[in-house]
């Protein structure tokens, strides 16, 4: 079904721009900006990172419109198991981070942070293993930060931590395919994230045999329906993750996870625990390692409390207008 675009004036009429403080620095930022929009189906979110160009950000707007203006695919489950997310912090801070993720049996650990060493990564992952015990599941995410040889070396250095998988160790599909060949004997799967959500062809990584599983995110892929199509066409297991969304955006990701026919892995949707503020009085935080399936409404008082400055509000309104124009130009005539 073709996405029907609401008028730009309708989008801007309900748009509320917020700037949420983070409890821990993540992805190089201390504040997460987002736009909350209210459609006929409820609240939705538009929050591409500020460095993304209009073409890429327009896909995020399509997702926001799809979630706020259209009924979503039926849920196949009522709650979603989620993982803890450990930013690139010092090993001594790991226990404090994990304590925010109630009952999570899995942790995703950020590695390959610019300016940090492999020794720091190893110390961080070891600290997670020590905190979670032998039954805990650990996956690492390099966000494409290693070259091929660095990735192979790092996987060997981390192998004694019994990794569940390594997410986007290298940037290119060719590197991922070669790395997967090199480490296949170790039994450590390779997951693709940026090679799916930032690619012109999100299925290329699957066709190249460059990954064992996909990490999918609702906003960057254009919404729940499009993400479901990609997973189905790829024929690989999928993990649903977030992009440091507010609880409204996380509910979109939960909707995607709830609609997947198979859900083998815990999902990276517990990241509201990394925020020091949110847009709802009942944030979508893990309880017993689970998140409930269902929409989340925005609280007007919190939208006011965390309202972005006027210049940032104007910046986001102009961005919505440009992305709306991109979507309009691409719409069938």
Annotated binding site for Mg(2+): 141, 167, 193
Binding-site residues sit at 141, 167, 193
Backbone region of residue 328 per phi and psi (left: phi > 0; alpha: psi in -120 to 50; beta: other values): alpha
Give the C-alpha distances (Å, rounded to integers) separating 160 from 33, 126, 188, 313: 38, 9, 11, 48
Would you call 198 a catalytic residue per the annotation?
no
User: Between helices 148-158 and 173-183, what is the axis angle to 10°?
Assistant: 40
Q: Do strands 213-216 and 29-39 pair parallel, antiparallel, or not at all (unpaired)?
A: unpaired
Residues 6+ apart with CB under 8 A from 84: 97, 98, 100, 101, 104, 106, 107, 108, 270, 273, 286
Would you call 217 a catalytic residue per the annotation?
yes
108, 110, 184, 198: the catalytic one is 110
108, 184, 198, 217: the catalytic one is 217
Structure tokens at 73: 């695919």
Distance CA 171, CA 177 (A): 11
Catalytic positions: 110, 217
């Amino acid at each position: 079904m073709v996405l029907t675009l609401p008028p730009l004036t309708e989008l801007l009429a309900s748009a509320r721009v917020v700037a949420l403080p983070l409890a821990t620095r993540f992805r190089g930022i201390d504040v997460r900006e987002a736009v909350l929009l209210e459609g006929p189906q409820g609240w939705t979110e538009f929050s591409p990172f500020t460095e993304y160009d209009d073409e890429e950000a327009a896909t995020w707007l399509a997702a926001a419109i799809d979630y706020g203006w259209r009924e979503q695919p039926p849920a196949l489950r009522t709650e979603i198991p989620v993982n803890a997310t450990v930013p690139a912090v010092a090993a001594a801070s790991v226990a404090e981070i994990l304590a925010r993720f109630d009952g999570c049996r899995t942790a995703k650990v950020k590695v390959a942070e610019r300016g940090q060493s492999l020794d720091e990564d190893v110390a961080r992952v070891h600290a997670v293993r020590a905190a979670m015990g032998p039954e805990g599941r650990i996956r690492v995410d390099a966000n494409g930060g290693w070259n091929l040889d660095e990735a192979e070396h790092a996987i060997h250095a981390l192998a004694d931590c019994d990794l569940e998988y390594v997410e986007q160790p290298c940037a290119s599909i060719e590197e991922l395919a070669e790395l997967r060949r090199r480490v296949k004997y170790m039994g450590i799967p390779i997951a693709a994230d940026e090679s799916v959500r930032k690619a012109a062809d999100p299925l290329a990584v699957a066709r190249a045999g460059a990954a064992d599983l996909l990490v999918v995110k609702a906003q960057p892929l254009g919404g729940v329906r499009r993400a479901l199509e990609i997973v189905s066409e790829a024929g690989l297991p999928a993990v649903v993750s977030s992009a440091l969304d507010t609880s409204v955006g996380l509910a979109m990701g939960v909707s995607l996870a709830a609609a997947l026919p198979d859900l083998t892995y815990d999902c990276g949707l517990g990241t509201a625990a990394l925020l020091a503020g949110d847009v709802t009085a009942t944030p979508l935080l893990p309880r017993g390692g689970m998140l409930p399936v269902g929409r989340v409404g925005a609280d007007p008082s919190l939208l006011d409390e965390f309202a972005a400055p006027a210049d940032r509000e104007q910046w986001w309104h102009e961005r919505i207008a440009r992305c709306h124009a991109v979507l309009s130009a691409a719409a069938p005539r």
